[in-house]
Amino acid sequence: KEEAPLNFIEHIIEEDLTKTHTPDQLRFRFPPEPNGYLHIGHASSICLNFGLGKRYNAPVNLRFDDTNPIKEEQEFVDAIKRDISWLGFEWAKECYASDYFQELYDWAVQLIKDGKAYVDSQSSEEIAKQKGTPNEPGTESPYRNRPVDESLDLFEKMKNGELPEGKHTLRAKIDMASGNMLMRDPVMYRVLHKSHHRTGTDWKIFPMYDWTHGESDYIERVSHSLCTLEFLPHRELYNWFLDQVHEENTLRPKQREFARRNLSHTVVSKRKLARLVEEGIVNGWDDPRMPTISGLRRRGYTPESIKNFVNSIGVGKRENVIDVSHLEFNVREDLNKRAPRVFTVLNPIKLVITNYPEGETEMLEAENNPEDENAGYRDIPFSRELYIEREDFKEEANRKFFRLTLNKEVRLKNAYIIKGESVVKDAEGNITEIHCTYDPDSKSGSGSEASKRKVKGTLHWVSIKDALPVEVRLYDRLFTEAIPDADKEKDFMEFINPNSLEVITAYAEPSLKNLKVEDKVQFQRLGYFVVDKDSSEEKIVFNRTVPLRDSWGK
């Protein structure tokens, strides 16, 4: 297999390898904040970082950016690890920014001593007011030049929990007139009397993202710290902070930025996804309608289908929205190869074969997967009374209707050719039964002349007395708009599709009772389906992963 062309990040690394870096200095990280579950956007970052690890035979750390005790939880740490492993990636080290709190604190103390940081005793509102605008310099804090000893003393009191929340911060003393707003004395620490999922109540001060991220990269000797484009203006600050701690002859991390990947008809933001969970729009982070890795997994996506999708959109410098049909295309491609074919009728109508012996059952052989020669064959029971799909019959139809109608022939897949004869209707005129006759010589695979007869249309079916009732959950897009959060004036929740889930009872061939949770099948002519974790001994539950064909926008 040919190697894919280098992406622009790989070009940067190739160049570094000729000038500044040795191969064994390369090291990467994936740095999630454990404040939610990973989503399809994160899969891009995961594939990029772990892909670099693979290409350059370099370690990739999993680093939890856990500096905000208000939103972070152990549940999210566990979920993130589970999802990355399921995608098939192995991290070299499991790291936590919170493990560096002491080191970061010691560095911060040194910055105060060097006159490069100070404790500000103003509220965040006052600080914000003094920031200025991009065209006008900000106003220096009245505490900017307070004596070093006073800052040291206050900073220690902040750390020890002797000072309340919201009254003091530690700020870097950089440049209140900088053209880069982030350089205008950014806050490095704030006081929070909250329990942290790992450090408990040990720490009452918490470092901000910018102060933490680059220093964590430095501690771990990450060579290339890759983040999304919105961090481009942060790069200057990343470098300023590194300048303060970097020692000569040690590897100096570099931040580089790539474009976020967004998916249509959903939202890819943990904060927004959290609202869907909290407001009960979906049943948890792994609801099959969610664009989370665990939601896609429960929906029936395979790791390969997700990775193929991510690799096909590549790494870019410009943000874009990928149509969800592209993701669906990838899962169809993958499941086509691996999912066994089975018969299930979603919307049943009774079909009676009037010339078939009553009470008889015969077992008919069916191929499990024409795309996989090792998949073998199974037997399906056939009898006088069957279910077929209601949509597969019309009393009167034009010549383009290649399904069952009166006085015309179709084939029942893996079985016989039948001919529509009559219908039974209820008082309201609804069809309740279709009567047909069959040609006993036309059995599929028998080699007889009749079996080779060409008829237009092949239907799937299920023997009624052998049918297994199953619950099927049919999912649709969660949002009616392609970009539900495009209009910043509106709440994306206005665009929830009220019909994103339909639950039905369907009738399956009996072999399906042996399936296990996460087993994937193709319901022939209908789509790909996966066994859901809600299944029990009494009832199997299927999620529709995707219909066989894309019916949207047609």
**Annotated binding residues for ATP, as ranges?**
33-35, 228, 268-270
Say which entry of Mg ion, ligand ATP, none residue 42 contacts (CB below 5 to 8 A, set by partner kind). Answer: ligand ATP
Q: CB under 6 A: which stretch of 263-271, 444-452, 461-469, 501-509 binds ligand ATP?
A: 263-271
Cα separation of 141 and 125, whole Å? 12
Q: What is the 3-state secondary structure (H, E, C) of 476-542?
A: CCCECCCCCCCCCCCCHHHHECCCCEEEEEEEECHHHHHCCCCCEEEECCCEEEEECCCCCCCCCEE
Taking the complex as a whole, how short is the minimal distance between the CB of residue 273 and ligand ATP, in angstroms? 7
**Number of continuous H segments (helices) and E segments (strands) in the chain:** 12, 27
Among 159, 265, 270, 298, binds ligand ATP (CB under 6 A): 270
271-310 positions binding ligand ATP, by CB under 6 A: 271
Q: State the binding partner of 227 from Mg ion, ligand ATP, none, CB within 5 to 8 A by kind.
A: ligand ATP
Q: Give least dist CB 237 to Mg ion, A.
A: 15
Classified as helix, coil or strand, 291 is coil
Q: Which is nearer to ligand ATP, 272 or 435 (CB)?
A: 272
Q: Which residues contact 156 (CB under 8 A, 6 or more apart)?
A: none
Pick one of ligand ATP, Mg ion, none as the site partner of residue 44 (Cβ within 5 to 8 A by kind): ligand ATP
Please confirm, yes or no, whether 270 is among the known catalytic residues. Answer: yes
In this complex, which beta carbon is closest to Mg ion, that of residue 33 or of residue 367? 33
**228: partner contacted, choices ligand ATP, Mg ion, none (Cβ within 5-8 A by kind):** ligand ATP
Determine the Cα–Cα distance for residues 131 and 502; give it in Å rounded to an integer.
51
**Distance separating alpha carbons of residues 356 and 148, to the nearest angstrom:** 97
Query: What residues does 419 pair with on adjacent strands?
Result: 409, 437
According to CB under 6 A, which one of 10, 16, 33, 534 is a site residue for ligand ATP? 33
Q: Which is nearer to Mg ion, 33 or 156 (CB)?
A: 33
Residue 254 is a binding residue for ligand ATP (CB under 6 A): no
Q: How many CB atoms lie within 10 A of CB 262?
A: 19
Beta carbon nearer to Mg ion, 33 or 175: 33
Report what 261 binds from ligand ATP, Mg ion, none; CB cut-off 5-8 Å by kind.
ligand ATP
Toward ligand ATP, which CB reaches closer, 71 or 146?
Answer: 71
| Candidate residues 7, 45, 61, 266; the one interacting with ligand ATP per rule CB under 6 A | 45
- For position 327 contacting ligand ATP by CB under 6 A, the verdict is no
Among all residues, whose Cβ is closest to Mg ion?
A: 33
Cα Rg of the chain, angstroms:
31
- Sort 370 into a burial class: Cβ within 10 Å, 0-12 / 13-18 / 19+: exposed
Is residue 42 near ligand ATP by the rule CB under 6 A? yes
Among the listed residues 270, 289, 411, 443, the single catalytic one is: 270
Using CB under 6 A as the binding rule, the residues of this chain from 69 to 98 that contact ligand ATP are none
- Count the site residues for Mg ion by CB under 5 A: 1
How many residues are recorded in the chain?
554
Contact residue for ligand ATP among 44, 223, 302, 305 (CB under 6 A): 44
- CA 434 from centre of chain: 44
End-to-end CA distance of the chain: 35
Catalytic, 33? Answer yes
> In angstroms, rounded to a whole number, what is the distance separating the alpha carbons of residues 270 and 33?
10
List, in order, residues 6 or more apart from 118 with CB less than 8 Å away. Answer: 112, 141, 143, 144, 145, 146, 151, 170, 171, 173
Counting contacts by CB under 6 A, is residue 268 touching ligand ATP?
Answer: yes
Q: Of residues 207-246, which lie at the interface with ligand ATP (CB under 6 A)?
A: 227-228
> Smallest gap, in angstroms, from Cβ of residue 37 to ligand ATP?
10
Give the nearest distance from C-beta 258 to ligand ATP in angstroms.
Answer: 7
CA distance 35 to 54: 28
Residues in a beta bridge with 263: 322
Strands (E) in 4-97, as ranges, are 28-30, 60-64, 94-96
Question: Is 29 within 8 Å of 89 (Cβ atoms)?
Answer: no
**Residue 262 and residue 313 in contact, taking contact as beta carbons nearer than 8 Å:** no
Work out which of 27, 213, 261, 411 binds ligand ATP, going by CB under 6 A.
261
Structure tokens at 227: 């983040």
Q: Which of the listed partners (ligand ATP, Mg ion, none) does 260 bind, with a CB threshold of 5 to 8 Å by partner kind? A: ligand ATP
Binding-site positions: 33-35, 65, 209, 228, 268-270
CA distances from 470 to 273, 289, 490, 519, 528 (A): 30, 20, 40, 14, 15
- Please identify which of the residues 190, 260, 261, 289 carries the catalytic annotation: 260
Nearer to ligand ATP, 178 or 266 (CB): 266
- Site track for Mg ion across 6-45, x = CB under 5 A: ---------------------------x------------
Annotated binding site for L-glutamine: 65, 209
CB closer to ligand ATP out of 42 and 198: 42
**Is 260 an annotated catalytic residue?**
yes
Binding-site size for ligand ATP (CB under 6 A) equals: 17
Closest distance between Mg ion and the C-beta of residue 3, in Å?
Answer: 31
Select the residue interacting with ligand ATP from 139, 264, 269, 458 (CB under 6 A). Answer: 269
Sequence-separated (6 or more) residues with CB below 8 Å from residue 334: 302, 304, 305, 308
Residues between 520 and 549 with contacts to Mg ion, criterion CB under 5 A:
none
β pairing state of 468-475 and 501-508: antiparallel
Q: Which residue type occupies 334?
A: D
Residue 425: its H or E element: strand 417-425
Residue 520, binding choice from Mg ion, ligand ATP, none, Cβ under 5 to 8 Å by partner class: none
Residues contributing to the site for Mg ion (CB under 5 A): 33
- Catalytically active residues, by annotation: 33, 260, 270
Residues contributing to the site for ligand ATP (CB under 6 A): 31-33, 41-42, 44-45, 65, 227-228, 260-262, 268-271
